[in-house]
Amino acid sequence: MDETTETNSRAAAQGLAHLAGKYLAFVLSQEKYGLQITKVQEIIGMMHITHVPRTANYLKGVINLRGKIIPVVDLRLKFGLPSIEPDDKTCILVVEVTLSGKSLAVGVIVDTVLEVLNFHVNQLEPAPEYGASLTTNFILGMGRSSTENVIILVDIEKALADTVAGMAADSAGTTQITEIKE
């Protein structure tokens, strides 16, 4: 058995075959992350964010995107990374998450967007286990790019689960933001 076949067999045995596909690569604090491209609705430059009082520090507020009010989360702060001032590379990824069977658009602020990467099963590894003291259930796995860089593949729904659980959209299209403590 050659090395590629062996790697493919190992990845398939570890249940990673369903993770193969296209990911939007982005940077947070000099580390590379990837989101399944099917979750990304659009990429927009930084724009005015209306602050909503009494929300968690990572909930930056809301934006008006072509008449639709979208909550915005600073992914750096959500991941426990230090805050930085936005620059010309900082952007908002509008992602689609599901809450109780209902789709919700959420903006996530990232340092910069890199490219779309296509990961084959032999480029995937399971998420590392850090023990019970660290929650990493939002990490789908690790992807190795052609340059051998490691890309942390993020399940955006799990990463935003506690945040999204506190968001409820009413029929008028307005969004109420609250935080639910774990």
Name the residue with tokens 């003291």: 133
**Domains of the chain, each with CATH number or no CATH:** 3-177 (2.40.50.180)
- Specify the pLDDT at position 46: 96
- Specify the pLDDT at position 127: 84
In this prediction, what percent of the chain has a pLDDT beyond 70? Answer: 79
pLDDT per residue as tens digits for the range 75-132:
999 999 999 999 999 999 999 998 778 899 999 999 999 999 999 999 999 987 766 5
* Three state DSSP letters for the chain: CCHHHHHHHHHHHCCCHHHCEEEEEEEECCEEEEEEHHHEEEEEECCCCECCCCCCCCEEEEEEECCEEEEEEEHHHHCCCCCCCCCCCCEEEEEEEEECCEEEEEEEEECEEEEEEEECHHHEECCCCCCCCCCCCCEEEEEECCCCCEEEEECHHHHCHHHHCCEEECCCCCEEECCCCC
pLDDT per residue as tens digits for the range 35-62:
999 999 999 999 999 999 999 999 999 9
The reported pTM is 0.81
